[in-house]
Amino acid sequence: MRQSTGFHMYVSYQDDDKVSIYRVDPRSGGVALQEEMAMAGGPAPMALSPDQQVLHVGLRGSQHLASYRVNRGTGVLSLIGAVPLQGEPVYVATDRTGRFVLSAYYYQSTAAVHAVGTDGAATLPPVEWRMTAHGAHAIRTDRSNRFAFVPHIANRGPNAIFQFRFDERTGRLTPNTPDRYSPTEYLGPRALVFHPTLDTVYFSDEQNSSVTGYQLDPSLGTLTPFQTISTLPAGYDEPNTCSQIHMAPSGKFLYAPNRGHNSVASFTIDAPSGRLTATGRVATEPVPRAFNLDPSGHFLYVGGLDSGRLASYRIDQTSGELTPLETYEGGRRPMWVLLADLSA
């Protein structure tokens, strides 16, 4: 393995029709703009293939799924191909093999799967274009790649997590039994992240401003909740919603931003049980929708939807607490933040 000389960070700016490529210093966390790539159609969700050779980008405005070859030396992108969609993609992910691209459609009430061709690009027709319900906000497969989950928010959605069996040979989704988990509380599950070693998965709850942890039955692919914990400080009663959710690669720390309180909440994860303990929150840019961690788990970066700026933080490796570093000018409407060590 080659020694890392730095990480690459990709940030999609939907209203600027561009994806900015940054170099990140792995020692200081400092960010330097390397290139701005024009990308017509309103780029938003992004997913990197497991081999880090292809970046898939959901274009919300033009309703396309575009696939780009990644230059492992420079991080520069070159278009392989783009396929038209029947809706506006709000989330894009690959399955664990990288042979399929999964996507979710909030307004079209759909979960989709596209096969990946020999050139690395998503292909037509989709393997799946499956109606679920309004408010579908994400889709991911578990560590075994046998099950997939699609959270749907409350208010404009059914307040439910749809449960599927996933065939990694064909890409087909089959409703599990039961076909969904419906929280008894008004949570609004929005985004999800799997623990790297435990049979647990965590969802950010958009309407409840919380994180809920679920036990995942590795044989049945069904969810059982074990904890819901607030992302807000005690006594805060102003409007707020949660957005994305991410975990440190070590599996020790979890993060979820607050849109309204304009902060990032941090939690420690108990190794045996998966239970969360709140460790506080730090102020960040207005309306923190998109954020992510660097591959080493030492730094965290947040895009402010209203300000267009990127805020950086150092992660304490003992407590997981965040220390503010620098703020950088970015662009209009940052929708996704993705980091990779392309030298690995």
Per-residue confidence (pLDDT) for residue 1, from 0 to 100: 34
The domain ranges of the chain are 7-340
User: Which amino acid makes up residue 57?
Assistant: V
Per-residue confidence (pLDDT) for residue 178, from 0 to 100: 98
Sheet containing 322-328: which strands, arranged edge to edge?
A: 288-293, 299-304, 310-315, 322-328
Q: Give 187-210 pLDDT, tens digit per residue.
A: 999 999 999 999 999 999 999 999
User: pLDDT truncated to tens, each residue of the chain (344 aa)?
Assistant: 344 457 999 999 999 999 999 999 999 999 999 999 999 999 999 999 999 999 999 999 999 999 999 999 999 999 999 999 999 999 999 999 999 999 999 999 999 999 999 999 999 999 999 999 999 999 999 999 999 999 999 999 999 999 999 999 999 999 999 999 999 999 999 999 999 999 999 999 999 999 999 999 999 999 999 999 999 999 999 999 999 999 999 999 999 999 999 999 999 999 999 999 999 999 999 999 999 999 999 999 999 999 999 999 999 999 999 999 999 999 999 999 999 999 87
Where does residue 32 rank: exposed (0-12), middle (13-18), buried (19+ CB within 10 A)? Answer: exposed
Per-residue confidence (pLDDT) for residue 33, from 0 to 100: 97
Comparing CA positions, the residue from 253, 226, 272 lying closest to residue 314 is 253
> Is the Cβ–Cβ distance between 317 and 294 less than 8 Å?
no
11 is written with which tokens? 């940030």
User: Within a 10 A sphere around the Cβ of 125, how many other Cβ atoms?
Assistant: 9
Q: What is the C-alpha separation between 290 and 302, in angstroms, rounded?
A: 6
255 is written with which tokens? 């993060």
CATH code of 7-340, in short, is 2.130.10.10
Query: pTM of the prediction?
Result: 0.97
> Is the Cβ–Cβ distance between 21 and 342 less than 8 Å?
no
C-alpha distances out from residue 281 to 254, 324, 333, Å: 12, 11, 23
User: Within a 10 A sphere around the Cβ of 330, how many other Cβ atoms?
Assistant: 23
User: Within a 10 A sphere around the Cβ of 304, how many other Cβ atoms?
Assistant: 24
Per-residue confidence (pLDDT) for residue 157, from 0 to 100: 96
Q: Give 218-267 pLDDT, tens digit per residue.
A: 999 999 999 999 999 999 999 999 999 999 999 999 999 999 999 999 99
- Residue 283, by phi and psi: left (phi above 0), alpha (psi -120 to 50) or beta? beta
Per-residue confidence (pLDDT) for residue 5, from 0 to 100: 57
